[in-house]
Structure 1
Amino acid sequence: MKKNLLLCFDAFGTIFTPRQAIFEQYGEAARRFGLSGFMDEQVASSFKQAFKDESKKNPNYGRATGLGATAWWTNIINKTFQPLLPPNQAIPKGLAPALIHRFSSSEGYLMFPDAYRYLKKRSEAEQKGEKGDARTVVGVITNSDDRVPDVLSSLGLNVHHLRYGDPAEKCSDVAHTQCQTADIDFVIMSYDVGFEKPHRKIFDAATDMLENMLSAEGVAKPALDDWTLLYVGDEPEKDAKGALDAGWDAILVDRDAQYGSVAEQRPEISIIKDFDGLDQLRDRYPGI
């Protein structure tokens, strides 16, 4: 049994979820700015088309063409509402910034209570030395733009600022105590990597980050031979099967009990109802 554990989680749908349907939040925000004459269902349809068009024109949330995520989402929001308004009605300039801010924070999302309990309990045990000499590094791997760390922080988690492409630091070089108290040690976003799950390269980015962290801590030749790689997510294809294909172990969070057939097709995937079920896997993954 390998001694150490690299434990990574999906974000959207696994750790947090929208407070209400995204199209409903869009409609609500638009009405606050004085827009009217549309149904939320129309917003949903228009948003879907705007997202598809903008993704084709400016891939990877605008990173691929140099547009950037803020301008990319501004385009999405404007393209969502423009078809729903009379020709002479302009979209208020404050609408896009308000929605972008909302979905950067707890205003737009809420954390699953079981996820919060687990992540806080796990990091507290690590800080107290209750995990013994085994090491667990906790990360997030997500298909997303660069707002995920802000969302996680807003929801009450202590998130280290490390993301793909950043140099790792020795904790002694960091002016604050984030190294010792982080609930999340790093965040890997497709926005930074340029590849989305289930592509292997986004999982490889996480192991690269681990090796960089170990090097910064003084490990001369970091090796992953003594590390179990474990990924926890809520989508069978992108998360569980993507992780397996990248050489990781996989846990599928099945909150709505809809993935029973996955266990039959891929018995190597562990399925749990929520984060409380992680305790049941401690014999197999001691560092969990």
Structure 2
Amino acid sequence: MGFGWPLMIARRTNLKLKQTIALQSQRHMSRLVLPPPKLITIDAFGTIYTPRPTVAEQYSNLYAVHFPLHDQIDPETLDASFKVVFKSLQQTHPNYAGGERNWWCRAIRDTFRTAKAAAFIDNDVAEDTEIFVLALYNHFNTGAAYALWPDISSFLAAIPAQTRLGVLSNSDTRSREVLRGLGIIAEETSDQDGAKNKSWIKTESHVLLSSEVGVEKPDPAIFETAVRVLVGEDDWPQSQPQSQDLQLQLQQQPEITKIDALNTAREILYWHIGDEAKRDIQPVITHGHGRLRGWGAVHIKRANECGDSTPGGHVVLKHSGTIIEVSDLRDIQGLWMTGVEVDVEE
């Protein structure tokens, strides 16, 4: 039979194995077609746009420009310092308490001080550091410091015309200028149907910010506000917060089947899309049978934070049909047209 025969058998066996795995994968997939929802809200920072280059790299670059005679600071050091300072300020001054400009200028100062930047230790250049802090704050006021994720434009273009679209974000008011600079909010000089500039958010009032609403995600109140403002108060489903008895009943319900999950997804009225599990997704899981009845969420879990995204990933329907998990929004832009293949997690 020759020496090539075992190799040929191995190749055929490997091919059959791949075909079997692919067939089994297809059998577990279901096609999900959703009716147009009444409302889609989408998070801003991290979901629509991302800093490019990274925040730490931009901090480092601008520091080098303003203080060329001082030792420079690598982005890794600044990134570590920023994360510590940002987390601390979120705890001590939540929702930009004290004013967002003061909040961010303090964050910038504390970041460079924590990183032991020479200019922030040298008292002789104290006035220059304040000029630098304000310049860095203003740098992040427009779209110049950010880039759209590559899956955003085509996904927004695929949203049904009858569906209201809004931004629901814990970002400060500067995000409106960022969104306008990136072409997401219609310019005031253009027609408000978005036809001239291909914008999708028709007016600034469709951008709901925690600093203005008075509560941050994951508080369900900000989602309730979105329905009242963007859809109309009369549309809100009449529901009550979960009692302990109701929570116990839900825990004792029989196992949800794949058909149940698909049907639940088709009945959802409002979808929120975001990248943070705690702030964007968990509210729907926690309050889905109470204050947020009628809501579902899309958890966008991109592979990296570098502004890159590639379609063709796995789409998973989770939590009894209320959560969709995806790595690229282009993989679900057919949800309200021809449908998409989803793996239903039972």
TM-score, shorter chain, exceeding 0.5? yes
Q: 1:271 to 1:70 in 2, by over 3 A?
A: same
Query: Structure 1 residues 188-197 or 239-248, which shifts more?
Result: 239-248
Letter in 1 for 2:96: Y
Measure the CA separation in 2 of the matches of 1:199 and 1:284: 34
User: Which residue in 2 is equivalent to 1:277?
Assistant: 331
Structure 2 Cα separation of the partners of residues 266 and 29 of structure 1: 48
Q: CA deviation at 1:49?
A: 3.2
Rate the CA distance shift 1:59–1:94 in 2: closer, same or farther, 3 A. Answer: same
Q: What does residue range 18-29 of structure 1 map to in structure 2 within 5 Å?
A: 18-29=51-62
* Equivalent residue number for residue 274 of structure 2: 233
Judge conservation of contact 2:158–2:334 (CA < 8 Å) in 1: no
- Cα root mean square deviation, aligned: 3.3
What TM-score results when the alignment is normalised by the length of structure 2?
Answer: 0.62
User: What is the CA-CA distance between 1:137 and the residue it aligns to?
Assistant: 0.6
User: Which residues of 2 match residues 73-84 of structure 1 at below 5 A?
Assistant: 73-83=104-114, 84=116
In structure 2, the residue matched to 1:178 is 192
1:154 aligns with 2:177: no
Structure 2: runs of 5 or more not aligned: 1-33, 238-266, 305-312, 340-346
> What is the number of residues matched between the two proteins?
249
Query: Cα distance 1:87–1:102, how it changes in 2: closer, same or farther (>3 A)?
Result: closer
Contact 2:180 2:187 (C-alpha < 8 Å) held by counterparts: no
Which amino acid in the other structure matches residue 232 of structure 1? I
**CA offsets 1:32-56 (integer angstroms, 9 cap, x no match):** 1116323323222332333244334
2 CA distance for matches of 1:72 and 1:193?
A: 18
- CA-CA distance at 1:270 after TM superposition: 1.5
Percent identical among aligned pairs is 29
Alignment match, 2:215 = 195
Structure 1 residues 30-84: Cα deviation after superposition (integer angstroms, max 9, x where no partner): 111116323323222332333244334433112xxxx211121111112222342
Q: Deviations along 1:5-26, whole A, 9 cap, x unmatched?
A: 2011111221111102211211
CA distance in 1, matches of 2:147, 2:281: 23
- Give TM-score scaled by structure 1 length: 0.73
Residue pairs, 1:225-264, within 5 angstroms: 228-244=269-285, 245=287, 246-247=292-293, 248-256=295-303
Letter in 1 for 2:134: P
Tell me, yes or no, if the aligned pair for 1:252 and 1:269 is still in contact at 8 Å. Answer: yes
Deviation by residue 1:205-260 (Cα, 9 ceiling, x = unmatched): 1012124xx5xxxxxx8324698111111223321222343331111222229x98
3-state SS, counterpart of residue 303 of structure 2: coil
